[in-house]
Structure 1
Amino acid sequence: MLTPDGDFWQQVAAYTLSEIGEGVHVVDRYGITLAYNEALGKMEDLRPKDVIGRNFLEVYPSLTVETSLFLEVMRTGEPINKRIQSYTTINGKEVSVLVSIYPIIIRGERVGAIEISRSILKESGVTRQEIGPLTGSKQVKGVKPKGQTARYTFSSIITRNEKMKELLAKAQRAALTDSPVLVYGRTGTGKEMLVQAIHNASPRSAGPFVAQNCAAIPENLLEGLLFGTVRGAFTGSYDRAGVLELANGGTFYLDELTSMSPTLQAKLLRVLEEGYAQRIGDVRRYPINVRFVASLNVSPTEAVRQGLIREDLYYRLGVVQLELPPLCERRDDIPLLVEHFLDQCNEKIRFRRVKRVSDEVMDLFMNYDWPGNVRELAHVIEGATVVAEKDCIEIWNLPPYMRTLHSSSAVAVAFRREEGSHDRLRGAMQQYERQLISRVLNESGGNISKAARILGIPRQTMWAKVKRLGIRQHV
C-alpha cells in the first residue's frame, strides 16, 4: 500500500493548482508569494512567474496594511469567508473578487496564509449582504501612481550572489514596516534602486516617492526646499510647500546625507522625533507622515567618526541598515549583469543586435576591480554596444582605459590563475627555453656550435644556457 510522502503531496498540489477553477494565492509570514495559479492570473491579467517571489503589496499597490484582507488574517489568525476584495494590480487593472482567506498555522505559529478567489461575475445565488461589506482601497486623488517616480522593484535587482540575496531578503522584511532605513555602499552600487524597491514593496507604495539629493542644492536653498517657505520670510520668498509636505503618505528619500550641514541635520532630527515641520517664516506647524530613507557613500560609523553625520541623527535614521556590496565582491553576478545590460542596449539600438561579449572581454570583466561598480559596467556595455561592428563585443570595442589595462590585466590573470603553483612567469619562460634548446640540440645531433647557429646565439651563450638549465646533451 502506498504511503504518501512529501513528493506525492507536492505533485498533488501542483496538479490541483493548475486545474482548479478558483484563484489560489499563498504567501509566507512576510507577505512573499509562494504560490499563484493560472486561474487567478486570468482574473488579474498577471503571469504566475511575475508574481511568485514578490511581496503581494508590491503586486497590488492600492492595498495597504489597513485594507489588505491577507494582512488582517495574518494579524488576527482568524479566517475570512466570502468577502469582496477590490484592488488595483501592478499593471493597472482594477479587480473585484470574492475571497476566502485562511491562516497557515504550524506548531502554533502563523507562518502564512492562503487565499481562494472567485470572480464575482461568475458567482450566482450569493447576495452582497451574505458576503459582507465591500473592502479595499482605491487610488487617492492627486497622488501619482506607482512607477512615475519609483520605477524599480525587487524583481528589477538582478543577482545570484548569496550576500546580495541575504540583503534583499532583509530589505523585503524591512519594507513591510514603517521603520527608517539607512542604505550605504560605494558609488554606483545601486542604492536608489534598492530604496525604490523598498518603497514599491511597502504599504506606502500607492503614495508619493520623493527623492532629494542633498549635494545637488546649495546649503542656503536646501532648508527652504525641504521645509517650504511663506511669503515675506525673506526677499523674493513666496508660499511654497517643502518636499517633506509633498512626500506625505509616502516615502521621503535623502540621498548623500553627508552633504547636509549639522545645523540642518538637527532640524531634520526634530521632524523625525516630533512628526511635525515648520515652513521658513511661518509660526504654524504641519504634520509629517512619511517613511524616511537615507543613503551614504561611506559606512555610517565612519561618517559619524568624521563628523559628517550627527550621532543622534544616525541612531534615529539607522534603525534598519543595509550595506550594498561593491561589484568586485559579487563577481558571480557579472555575467548576469552583462546579459541584462546587453538586452537593455539592444532595446535602445534597434538597427543592430549585439548578442554577447567575447571570452577575452568576459575574462577582463571578471578580473577588473570596477571602481564605478554596476553603473560603470552598464556604461561600458552601452559604449561598446554602440561601436561594435558585429554581434560580439571585442577588446577593441571597450573604452581606452580598459584597453590599456588589457595587457597588464592578462598578466595579472595568469598570475592569479597560477597562484600557489611553481609556474610563475619566469618559471614558464625557463621551461619553454629548456624545451626549445633540448629539441634543437637533439636535431643537431648534440652539436653545440650547430645548435647555436640555428638559434642565432653565440656558442658561449649556448654553453652557458645548457649548463644553467641542466640540459643533457644527446650524441
Structure 2
Amino acid sequence: MLRRYVEQILGIYNYIDGLVVANKKGIIEYFITYRPDVNKLKEEDVVGKHILDVYPELTPETSSIMRVLKDGKPIFNEMQHLTTNKGQSFYAVNSTMPIVSGEDIIGVVDVSRYLEPEAQRQNITIAFKDNALTKGKDELYCLDDIITNDNMMLEIKDKILKISKTNSSVLVYGATGTGKELVAQSIHRHSDRCDMPFVSQNCAAIPSTLLESILFGTVKGSYTGAENKTGLFEVAHGGTLFLDEINSMEISVQAKILKAIEEKKIRRVGGLDYINIDVRIVSAVNEDPHKAIKEGRLREDLFYRLGVVQINLPSLKDRRRDVKLLTGYFIDKYNRQMGRRIIGISEKAEEIFNSYSWPGNVRELKNVIEGAFNLTSGNLIQEKDLPDYLLNRDKEYEGRIEGVLGKVPLNSMVEDFEKKIIEIALGKTNSMVEAAKLLRISKQLLKYKIDKYGL
C-alpha cells in the first residue's frame, strides 16, 4: 500500500536526489537514490531495515522520519547531517510527510536533496512542481475538440453548452481515459469565466497534509520550512477549479473543501484570516460515486454539493461508431506532428480495433495509434504495428476455450456466456427496459432469460 505513493510524490517535486518510504515502525519499504556518487547506499542495503539502523547517528529526536511518525506533522526543507551504516557522511535537505489511512499514520514519505560541500551553507530547498495545470483561454479544449458521432456524446456536448452558462458545480463521472478533463475545460472555455484562470489538480493518493497546503496555501512558520504560498483556490479566483479523482482524496480534506465551497472563503494552513473566493468547482470521479460513498471513500454531503449537475461519460466500447472516427482524427494529428503521410489502417487492424473492448478508452486508442506511427514503414498501419497485447487476445481466448473442450457441453458454455452478458447489461442500467435496449432484444425476451438464469 505504501508504494503507491511513490509515483505521486515523484510527480509533485521538481527535483529530488533520493526518496524513502517507511512504514509506521520506521522500517524502510522503498528506497531510491538518483545520486549514487553522493549517497552510495543501494536498495539491498536499506529495504527491510530500520531508518535508525541505516543512519546510526540519527536519534528519534533528530530523524525527521521518526518525528513525523510520532506526531503526524509534515516537515519541509529541514537540513540533516547523515552518516550511513557504511561510514559515509553527507548533508541533505529533507521534506517528510505522513501517509494517513483514516485517522491512522501508516507510514511516511521522505524526499531528499543531497548537498555537496560547496552548497552546504546555501539556502537550498526542495521545490514543488507547478503540479496544477493553469492554462489560458486559447490553450483550453472546447466543444469542437470532443470528436464524436455518437448520440450519447452529442447529447453531452449539448449539455456542456447549456451548463457552461451557469455557475453551478459539476461532477463528471467516467472511466479512465474517457475525457473528463476535456469536458471540464470545455465547460470553462464556453462560460462567462473563460477569461479568468482554469486550474486543474489531480487529487489521487496525495497525502492529506500536502494536498491541503496545495489547495488552501500556507503561511510562513505554520510548520517547519513553510513559506507564504498561494493555494489553488486563490489562484483560480474568478475562474474554474477542476478537482480530478476526488474519490481518491482523503476524507479529512473533503470536509475542508465542503466548508470552503459552502462558505465561499478559505483560510491558509497556519493562517488566521479568511480569504473570500469566487470559484466554480468542476470535479471528476473515475468510479461510480455511489459505490465510493457506500465504501466510505467519498463524503455523501460533498457529493451532493459537487454534483449539482452530473455528466456521465460513456466508455469507448459503448460508442463503437466513434472508434473509426477517432482513429482517423488521431492519424491526422500525428501526421501533422511527425511529418508522416499515413492514410489509414489495414482491414485486419480495423477488425482488431472494432472487436477490442478498449478498457483504457480514448486515451488508449490515442496511445496505440501513436505507438504504431513509430513502427509503421508504409502508408497504412498494419496488424504488426500494433501492441502485442492486442494481437494475442484471440490466442488467449482460444486457450481458455481449449481448456474446457471435452469437459463442458457447448450449450452450457453458451449459456454461461449469455448469462454473464445479461448480468453486465443489468449492472450498467437502471431498469429492465434500458437493459433490453442495450442488448437489442425485447423486454419480454430479457425477462424470460432473467427467470431462466435466476438473475
Q: TM-score, normalised by structure 2?
A: 0.57
Query: Which residue identity lines up with residue 319 of structure 1 in the other structure?
Result: V
**Conservation of the 8 A alpha-carbon contact between 1:149 and 1:210:** no
Instruction: Specify which of 338, 344, 361 is matched with residue 373 of structure 1.
Output: 361
CA distance in 2 between counterparts of 1:405 and 1:372 reads 15
Distance 1:344 1:147, change over 3 A: farther
Range with bigger deviation, 182-191 or 302-311: 302-311
CA distance in 1 between counterparts of 2:334 and 2:241 reads 31
2:259 aligned with 1:285: no
CA distance in 1 between counterparts of 2:291 and 2:264 reads 28
2:320 aligned with 1:331: yes
Shift of 1:357: 0.3
2:348 aligned with 1:360: yes
Q: Which residue of 2 aligns with 1:157?
A: 146
2:138 aligned with 1:188: no
Residues 66-99 of structure 1 deviation map (CA, whole Å, 9 limit, x = unaligned): xxxxxxxxxxxxxxxxxxxxxxxxxxxxxxxxxx
**Conservation of the 8 A alpha-carbon contact between 1:149 and 1:209:** no
**Conservation of the 8 A alpha-carbon contact between 2:203 and 2:211:** yes
**Conservation of the 8 A alpha-carbon contact between 1:150 and 1:196:** no
Shift of 1:367: 1.0
Instruction: Specify which of 227, 246, 258 is matched with residue 247 of structure 2.
Output: 258
CA distance in 1 between counterparts of 2:253 and 2:363 reads 30
Distance 1:374 1:272, change over 3 A: same
Shift of 1:185: 0.6
Number of residue pairs matched by the alignment: 270
Query: Which residue identity lines up with residue 356 of structure 2 in the other structure?
Result: Y
Distance 1:313 1:145, change over 3 A: closer
**Conservation of the 8 A alpha-carbon contact between 1:256 and 1:295:** yes
2:133 aligned with 1:169: no
2:389 aligned with 1:389: no
CA distance in 2 between counterparts of 1:210 and 1:229 reads 18
Range with bigger deviation, 188-197 or 211-220: 211-220
Instruction: Specify which of 201, 225, 238 is matched with residue 190 of structure 2.
Output: 201
- RMSD of Structure 2 on Structure 1 (CA): 2.3
Structure 1, unmatched stretches of 5+, are 1-143, 413-424, 427-475
Residues 232-288 of structure 1 deviation map (CA, whole Å, 9 limit, x = unaligned): 111111111111100001000101101211111111101111101001111110101
**Conservation of the 8 A alpha-carbon contact between 1:364 and 1:409:** no
Distance 1:410 1:164, change over 3 A: farther
Query: Which residue identity lines up with residue 373 of structure 1 in the other structure?
Result: N
Distance 1:146 1:220, change over 3 A: closer
**Conservation of the 8 A alpha-carbon contact between 1:214 and 1:222:** yes
**Conservation of the 8 A alpha-carbon contact between 1:367 and 1:409:** no
Q: Which residue of 2 aligns with 1:241?
A: 230
Q: Which runs of 4+ in 1 moved over 6 A?
A: 408-412
Query: Which residue identity lines up with residue 281 of structure 1 in the other structure?
Result: G
CA distance in 2 between counterparts of 1:336 and 1:408 reads 28
Shift of 1:231: 1.1
Q: Report the 3-state secondary structure (helix = DSSP H, G, I; strand = E; otherwise coil) of the residue aligned with 1:196.
A: helix
CA distance in 2 between counterparts of 1:370 and 1:145 reads 30
Shift of 1:217: 3.1
Q: Report the 3-state secondary structure (helix = DSSP H, G, I; strand = E; otherwise coil) of the residue aligned with 1:221.
A: helix
Q: How does 1:92-111 map to 2 (within 5 A)?
A: none
Q: Which residue of 2 aligns with 1:340?
A: 329
Query: Which residue identity lines up with residue 265 of structure 2 in the other structure?
Result: Y
Q: Which residue of 2 aligns with 1:231?
A: 220
Q: Which residue of 1 aligns with 2:21?
A: none
Distance 1:147 1:218, change over 3 A: same
**Conservation of the 8 A alpha-carbon contact between 1:357 and 1:392:** yes
**Conservation of the 8 A alpha-carbon contact between 1:185 and 1:191:** yes
CA distance in 2 between counterparts of 1:400 and 1:160 reads 29
Q: TM-score, normalised by structure 1?
A: 0.54
Q: Which residue of 1 aligns with 2:211?
A: 222
Distance 1:218 1:196, change over 3 A: same
Q: Which residue of 2 aligns with 1:210?
A: 199
Shift of 1:406: 4.8
Q: Report the 3-state secondary structure (helix = DSSP H, G, I; strand = E; otherwise coil) of the residue aligned with 1:387.
A: coil
Shift of 1:359: 1.3
**Conservation of the 8 A alpha-carbon contact between 1:199 and 1:251:** yes
Q: How does 1:261-280 map to 2 (within 5 A)?
A: 261-280=250-269
CA distance in 2 between counterparts of 1:150 and 1:252 reads 16
Shift of 1:405: 2.1
**Conservation of the 8 A alpha-carbon contact between 2:165 and 2:190:** yes
Range with bigger deviation, 241-250 or 297-306: 297-306
**Conservation of the 8 A alpha-carbon contact between 1:150 and 1:200:** no
**Conservation of the 8 A alpha-carbon contact between 2:137 and 2:194:** no
Distance 1:192 1:386, change over 3 A: same
Query: Which residue identity lines up with residue 297 of structure 1 in the other structure?
Result: N
Range with bigger deviation, 286-295 or 212-221: 212-221
Q: Report the 3-state secondary structure (helix = DSSP H, G, I; strand = E; otherwise coil) of the residue aligned with 2:242.
A: strand
Structure with higher Rg: it is 1
Q: Which residue of 2 aligns with 1:312?
A: 301
Query: Which residue identity lines up with residue 376 of structure 1 in the other structure?
Result: E
Residues 400-447 of structure 1 deviation map (CA, whole Å, 9 limit, x = unaligned): 1112125578999xxxxxxxxxxxx99xxxxxxxxxxxxxxxxxxxxx
Residues 10-46 of structure 1 deviation map (CA, whole Å, 9 limit, x = unaligned): xxxxxxxxxxxxxxxxxxxxxxxxxxxxxxxxxxxxx
Identity of aligned residues (%): 44
CA distance in 2 between counterparts of 1:167 and 1:248 reads 27
Q: Which residue of 2 aligns with 1:122?
A: none
CA distance in 2 between counterparts of 1:328 and 1:410 reads 22
Q: Which residue of 1 aligns with 2:386?
A: 398
